[in-house]
Amino acid sequence: MVKKQVAFLVTTLIFSLFIIEGVFGPFLCYAEKVQTPSSKKVIVYYFHGNYRCPTCLTLERLSKKAVTENFSKELSSGLLEYRSVNVDEPENRHFVDDFGLFTKSLVLVEKDGEKTLRYKNLGKIWILVRDEAAFKSYVKEEVEGFLKKVIAKTGKSK
């Protein structure tokens, strides 16, 4: 008798799960899709070494200023990040090979999770370092270009 009751309960439970899945399954799948944000983002890296000359410090200051002044919404939403990275530290040496670095650099990287989709080394920063307005305008335009492609792919907006 007990075996029949247990079998009945197990059968009822399994049957109930199928009914719930059949009725609510499409909504559960939809909810997962809606709630799962895209992991795509743009990271603005300023790469430097241990030695920091005045020009290198200016490059970093202007890079950070250009990003923070023009992209506060994107930064706060997580769509955009700014990172200053010392490539002389052992855990960061891989960036030299990853992005072909040979000097202090500002690199835009589109990421999907941990995967790098594309990147661009903004080489003009060395030419524009003495002209703050031109420097910031250049960085702003390049970051906007990267963000537009990410937004077009993911539907995220500013």
Average pLDDT, the chain: 83
Residue of 110, 93, 106 lying closest to 152 (CA atoms): 110
The reported pLDDT for the residue numbered 33 is 38
Percentage of the residues of the chain whose pLDDT score is greater than 70:
73
The reported pLDDT for the residue numbered 48 is 97
- Alpha-carbon separation of residue 26 from 23, 77, 80, 106, 123 (angstroms): 7, 29, 33, 45, 49
Residue extents of the structural domains in the chain: 1-36, 40-154
pLDDT at 51 over 60: yes
The reported pLDDT for the residue numbered 1 is 63
Confidence of residue 29 (pLDDT cuts 50, 70, 90): very low
The domain 40-154 belongs to what CATH superfamily? Glutaredoxin (3.40.30.10)
For 3-16, what is each residue's pLDDT tens digit? 555 445 445 545 55
Whole-angstrom distance, CA of residue 21 vs CA of residue 40 = 31
